[in-house]
Amino acid sequence: MEKLAMLYEGKAKKIYDTNDKNVFWVEYKDDATAFNGIKKGTIVDKGIINNKMSAMMFSYLQKNGVDTHFVELLSDREQIVRRLQMVPLEIVVRNIVAGSLVKKVGKEEGYSLASPVLELYYKDDALGDPMVNETHALAMGWATIEQINKMKEIALKVNELMTKIVAKAGIDLVDYKLEFGLIDGKVMLGDEISPDTCRFWDKDTGEKLDKDRFRRDLGKIEEAYAEVYTRLKDALENA
């Protein structure tokens, strides 16, 4: 397969065309942004960790019956994914209160939720990815009710599978963001699963092993990304 022209450069990845119309060639970057692009920086070798971790997590989910866009890991920073027609909605799944939920429910960071919370966000940089509900999505034609229901069903299945393996690694899966797309009308999981898109806390110490270290200037960012990857890799190999 040939890597052709770059089609799109996002905050964390570059997407290239290929000579196969069914797939894209993805390259993961070290660039880090937070607070809707206001804070910018570099996390050394983040692209390598996020590429390999996404490949590993998508493979695990696929083996357990979740349809994802992942096809093949090519190199440290590159992977092949199926071309999805992206749904402009993100689903955030939450198991423990943190981040933007703190101010919505009036509980402190770390409060364990009795059941998973699913939130919808409209993917739009100019609007700062606002939280929306299903009626917004339907009224704006961003997705059909069947697609939203399928996204929610996949999100809950992903949550069961991810919680299990993350726990085996001695980590709490606090919250994370998922993106979806369509192939011939079928809803599939896309984008990435990495410390950029998930909150991971060490079960014993509560130490943050994710992008909050960058957002909050906590230091040891590279070490945290590497640690969570190694622990999840070991947990999956011994599963």
Residues of this chain that interact with ligand C5P (CB under 6 A) are 92, 98-101, 129, 175-177, 197-199, 211
As measured in angstroms, the least distance from the Cβ of 198 to ligand C5P is 5
As measured in angstroms, the least distance from the Cβ of 19 to ligand C5P is 31
Long-range Cβ pairs for the range 136-143 (8 Å, 24+): 137/89, 142/87, 142/88, 142/89, 143/87, 143/89
- Return the ∠ at Cα 159 (arms to 167 and 26), rounded to 5°: 100
Nearest to 43 by CA among 54, 52, 34: 34
As measured in angstroms, the least distance from the Cβ of 123 to ligand C5P is 8
Which one, 33 or 144, has the nearer CB to ligand C5P? 33
Eight-class DSSP state of 143: S
Which one, 2 or 217, has the nearer CB to ligand C5P? 217
Which one, 23 or 171, has the nearer CB to ligand C5P? 171
As measured in angstroms, the least distance from the Cβ of 168 to ligand C5P is 20
Which one, 23 or 121, has the nearer CB to ligand C5P? 121
Residues 6+ apart with CB under 8 A from 74: 25, 80
Which one, 23 or 61, has the nearer CB to ligand C5P? 61
As measured in angstroms, the least distance from the Cβ of 209 to ligand C5P is 12
As measured in angstroms, the least distance from the Cβ of 176 to ligand C5P is 5
What would the two tokens of residue 186 be?
């079928």
Largest CA distance in the chain: 52
One-character DSSP codes across 145-213: HHHHHHHHHHHHHHHHHHHHHHHHTTEEEEEEEEEEEEETTEEEEES--STTTEEEEETTT--B-STHH
Tell me which residue has its CB nearest to ligand C5P: 99
- Name the amino acid, one letter, at 50: N
What would the two tokens of residue 45 be?
């070798």
Which one, 56 or 98, has the nearer CB to ligand C5P? 98
